[in-house]
A = this chain, B = another copy of it.
Amino acid sequence: MTNPRKTPTIQDVARSAKVSTATVSRALSSPDRVSEDARARVFQAVEQTGYTLNQAARSLRQRNSRTILVALPDIGNTFFSTILDAIEREAVLRGYGVLVANRFAAHDSGRRLHEYFLSNRADGLLLLDGSVALEPLLALAAPPIGVPLLMACEDIDHAPFHSVRTDNEFAAEVATRHLIGLGHRAIGHIRGPVGNVLTAEREAGYRRALALAGLEARPEWIIPAGFEMRQGLAAAERFMTLRERPSAMFATNDETAIGFLSGLRQHGLDCPRDISVVGFDDLAFAAHFWPPLTTMRQPREALGRIAAEALIDLIEGEPRRRVPRHTVLSSELIVRGSTRVHIAAPELAEAVL
């Protein structure tokens, strides 16, 4: 009325409702602590003035921001963006905003990390990137600062943080056993980026399955690649140079598998006729690829949801010094067209099947 150019504050509401600011605050945040009369007047005043809370003021006073920071290696990657989707959904449900920090490890994750982001800007950190330097994280999470911190998907070996992950090693073993079960004996692996925890675990699972079946994991059958399609493509080139080629490959993830298959096709190799391939993740594209990709499905929605839940519990929970809890979810083998029974002589395959 009197001064329409500024956004209304709690003072304006108080004046309009003829109560004190304390009552307005209480009416809004714990309605049952004020009289019905006052409550009604406050609500009406809010409506009339168009009041909205100033988050900065509340954050300052309450020493929290109702915001979580999600740090990931690559938002552009479908795998992470699906998880982010689930995280965001859960966070909003609990009244939290989501700040994103992409390519986290790329920036100097030390000083910047807590300077830029955790100066009361976020109440907790959800870290989807295992390749971040451990030191600064420890500094953040330890008592003096004590930021609630949770790692999801990837994690750092023996780091004392809460985590939510999937059983990568076992899943890789299942994937490889699937190939063995189909009669394949020469089974290779397309490996993820060096230094990555997932890479190591998936390779270990692959080796374990082979070992248990008494099969050999020939060094030249383990082709170094990464998590991206172009690296899968490069792996195909490498594959073509092998004297003796495996009849099946377990790829560290779907993107790599897809790039690999796309590369093989350029050389006239056909999947599944000439080779069987298992991926990892079950991206949306995997089902629509040709051939539809056999893969280990990671419960991405559950992963994101549970991670967000756990982090917010951590933030809101009283005893912050709880022992780190590790949640492990299972992956599921999804059999599609990219794997089939091994036939010694491929040219007979059509006849046999």
Interface status of A262 (Cβ within 8 A of chain B) = yes
The chain B residue sitting closest to A57, CB to CB, is B60
| Contact string against B for A residues 234-261, beta-carbon threshold 8 Å, 1 for contact and 0 otherwise | 0000000000000000000000001101
CB distance from A69 to the nearest CB of B (A): 9
CB distance from A71 to the nearest CB of B (A): 11
Is the CB–CB distance between B97 and A98 below 8 Å?
A: no
Size bracket of the A interface: 35 or more
Is the CB–CB distance between B4 and A119 below 8 Å?
A: no
Interface status of A84 (Cβ within 8 A of chain B) = yes
Question: Of residues 97 to 121 in A, which have CB atoms within 8 Å of B's CB atoms?
Answer: 97-103, 107, 114-121
Instruction: From the candidates B65, B84, B144, name the one contacting A75 in the complex (CB within 8 A).
Output: B84
The CA-CA distance from A54 to B88 in the complex, in Å, is 24
List of B residues within 8 angstroms of A74 by Cβ: 85
The CA-CA distance from A65 to B99 in the complex, in Å, is 13
List of B residues within 8 angstroms of A261 by Cβ: 288, 290
Tell me how many chains of this kind the complex includes.
2
Question: Of residues 66 to 83 in A, which have CB atoms within 8 Å of B's CB atoms?
Answer: 67, 74-78, 80-82
Is the CB–CB distance between B82 and A76 below 8 Å?
A: yes
Interface status of A265 (Cβ within 8 A of chain B) = yes
Most buried by B among A80, A81, A288, A289: A288
Is the CB–CB distance between A259 and B288 below 8 Å?
A: yes
The chain B residue sitting closest to A70, CB to CB, is B100
Interface status of A20 (Cβ within 8 A of chain B) = no
The CA-CA distance from A107 to B98 in the complex, in Å, is 16
The CA-CA distance from A59 to B145 in the complex, in Å, is 21
Interface status of A233 (Cβ within 8 A of chain B) = yes
List of B residues within 8 angstroms of A229 by Cβ: 284-285, 287-288
List of B residues within 8 angstroms of A75 by Cβ: 75, 81, 84-85, 88
Most buried by B among A67, A103, A119: A119
List of B residues within 8 angstroms of A11 by Cβ: none
Is the CB–CB distance between B119 and A102 below 8 Å?
A: no
The chain B residue sitting closest to A56, CB to CB, is B59
Question: Of residues 163 to 192 in A, which have CB atoms within 8 Å of B's CB atoms?
Answer: none
Interface status of A53 (Cβ within 8 A of chain B) = yes
Is the CB–CB distance between A67 and B102 below 8 Å?
A: no
Is the CB–CB distance between B85 and A102 below 8 Å?
A: yes
The chain B residue sitting closest to A86, CB to CB, is B76
CB distance from A226 to the nearest CB of B (A): 14
Interface status of A7 (Cβ within 8 A of chain B) = yes
The CA-CA distance from A5 to B292 in the complex, in Å, is 56
CB distance from A86 to the nearest CB of B (A): 9
CB distance from A110 to the nearest CB of B (A): 13
List of B residues within 8 angstroms of A44 by Cβ: none
Interface status of A89 (Cβ within 8 A of chain B) = yes
List of B residues within 8 angstroms of A284 by Cβ: 229
List of B residues within 8 angstroms of A114 by Cβ: 52
